[in-house]
Structure 1
Amino acid sequence: MELRHLRYFVTIAAEQNFRRAAERLHVSQSPLSRQMRDLEEEMGVELFEPEGRGIKLTAAGKAFAERARSILASVDAAIDEAKGVAEGRLGTVVIGFETGTTFMGALLSLVAAFRRRTPRVGLQLIPMSSVEQWAALRQGTIAFGYGAYAPSDDALSHLEMTRDRLGLLLSPDHRLARLKKIRLRDLESERVLLQPRQLYPRLHADLITAAHEQGVTLHVTAEVIDLEALMALVAIGDAVTFVGENISEMASQTSMTWRPVEDLHIPLSEFVTWRARDSGAPVMRALIDSAQEVRAPIRPGVSHVASRPTNPRRPKKR
């Protein structure tokens, strides 16, 4: 029994006439009648009985017609779903993202732009570091990554989404907030909180190097993985931390102050990453187009040199 037999049978059941069914199916009547006889022989039941100049379904035929319609509807739905996934209209996309980017990056804008392009595609967001994202991309467990580092791997493509300068986040009542200019030497006795080194190794390395060049030792008293907890500790004046200038507006709304550090010139960037071989796939094109739509203009004077988290180095001076 083949699907065409079911389609033929359902059409005959709807028309209750072999001639009209044959015209509707664009086939000859004799082969159609023969195929229905073969179907009855295969099933071992009679599906039709004569009625006037046409036919009607037997009790067995009525039961089979109901089930056949359900099977064909399921097959059609499966075909439509497969086409939708192939065309990027359906399915689920898994995106890996670094913690913190949901607060101050372009990730949320990217998701909104992607939703507008593909409203029927589901999204699953999984927090993971850049290094974890690259491994997951190679393994095929995620389709897209959003993080603080660009990969140096020809198999992975990337696009820079934001570029910003690093500065100091502190409570407005903190002693440093009263200074007209803040320099690294002013942080000598301060408690500094950072997000974990394993997530942002380049940031740690660049900060320590920049401070060392000024003869300053930064006292990193704790590494806090949760950005909200980190900001809460800063807000009560317990410590200071380093974040990009793009968080300054949110900081002002939560009773915190962002200040530049005069002799600190470390840029921060965020990147989207994907498998290069997937660039032409419809759903990937929608993701890339969404990223290009919402990516921030690169700010003048804020340079960036991408580096791998596993091999941190300082940005080149220009």
Structure 2
Amino acid sequence: MELRHIRYFLAVAEEQNVTRAAERLGIGQPPLSQQIHALEDEIGVRLFRRTGHGVVLTEAGEVFVVDAKRILADTRLAVEKAQSAGRGEIGQLNIGFTGSAAFNPVVSRLIRTYRQAFPNVTLTLAEGNTAQLLAYLDDGRVDVAFIRLGSQSPAGVQFHHIAIEPMRVVLPATHRLARKRKVDLSELADDPFVLLPREASPTLHDVIVGACSDAGFTPIAGQQAPQLSSVVNLVAAEFGVSLVPASVCQIQVEGVVYHDVAGKGISIRLALASRIEATPAKTANFLETARQFTSSMQ
């Protein structure tokens, strides 16, 4: 049974006249009659009974018309859903982000803007360090990922600039420099640094070590932190000092203070990573939203 047979049947049922139904469908009356007869033969029952003025549904036809309308409605809905999916208007988008990226207000505003534009796309969020997120991106567990961009670009991944964020010094509240408005990094040469392992967050680690090197010293490796929020807690526990992206200063933990870096500022880049290969429409829409959003901020 073909969908056109169902459409022909419904047209005749609604018009109660084969000639008028043929005119409505834009086909000849004889071919339409033949198609209706073929449909009845396939089903094995008569769907119409002829009258002096046209045709009326038989009892079998009245039953069939209900499901025929549902079949056509379901078909139209299936087509509309497929078209919506092709335009990236429905589906699921998996977004990854590093712990530090989650604190950046640009990220939350961008996601909010996308949700307003594509309310029928379900978003799932996955947190991880840079290495994990790049692995998730590679195996398809996330479609895009907010990460801290370093100098290296893994194969098969493209990066889209989101923001440049200044770094700030985080000190225990009892530290000798806690009352200063700005801190010169060289003054921290004798302090242990609480750092994330380089394999977990190579960009953040290299920015901190590079800034210390520019200030004339190699940072003393102190307690390692499993994630960025833990850095602040470990500093509060007086395990050492550290540098964090400015947005992390939203973490208000008792026993820590945040200060600007004296002299030349230190910054770290936030980027949106995606696969270079053919991009699904939902992902392309998110990337375009990010492009427009960041352009409007410049």
Q: TM-score range by the shorter chain?
A: 0.7 to 0.9
Closer, same or farther: CA 124–247 of 1 in aligned 2, 3 Å:
same
State the match for 1:311 in structure 2: none
For 1:196-241, what per-residue CA distance to the aligned partner results, in whole angstroms no more than 9, with x for missing partners?
A: 43321233244345546734542421313262x5434545666543
For 1:38-94, what per-residue CA distance to the aligned partner results, in whole angstroms no more than 9, with x for missing partners?
A: 111111112122344222222222222212221211111111111111122222222
Of 69-78 and 264-273, deviating more is: 264-273
2: CA distance, partners of 1:72 / 1:8: 11
State the match for 2:287 in structure 1: 288
Q: Secondary structure at the match of 2:89?
A: coil
Closer, same or farther: CA 36–20 of 1 in aligned 2, 3 Å:
same
Of 217-226 and 15-24, deviating more is: 217-226
1: CA distance, partners of 2:134 / 2:239: 35
1: CA distance, partners of 2:63 / 2:242: 72
State the match for 2:45 in structure 1: 45
**Structure 2 letter corresponding to 1:77:** L
Is the CA contact 2:88–2:282 (under 8 Å) kept in the aligned structure 1?
yes
Q: CA RMSD in A?
A: 3.3
- The answer to whether structure 1 residue 224 and structure 2 residue 226 are counterparts is yes
1:258 is displaced (CA, Å) by 2.0
**Structure 1 letter corresponding to 2:168:** G
Question: How many residues are paired up?
Answer: 296
1:118 is displaced (CA, Å) by 2.2
Q: Secondary structure at the match of 1:62?
A: helix
Give matches, 1:46-125, under 5 Å: 46-104=46-104, 106-125=106-125
1:140 is displaced (CA, Å) by 4.0
2: CA distance, partners of 1:62 / 1:174: 86
Closer, same or farther: CA 172–264 of 1 in aligned 2, 3 Å:
farther
State the match for 2:257 in structure 1: 257
Of 13-22 and 146-155, deviating more is: 146-155
Q: Secondary structure at the match of 2:90?
A: coil
State the match for 1:127 in structure 2: 127
1: CA distance, partners of 2:208 / 2:119: 42
1: CA distance, partners of 2:112 / 2:253: 23
Closer, same or farther: CA 255–56 of 1 in aligned 2, 3 Å:
farther
Q: Which runs of 5+ in 1 are unaligned?
A: 300-318
1:245 is displaced (CA, Å) by 2.6
Identity over aligned residues, as a percent?
Answer: 28
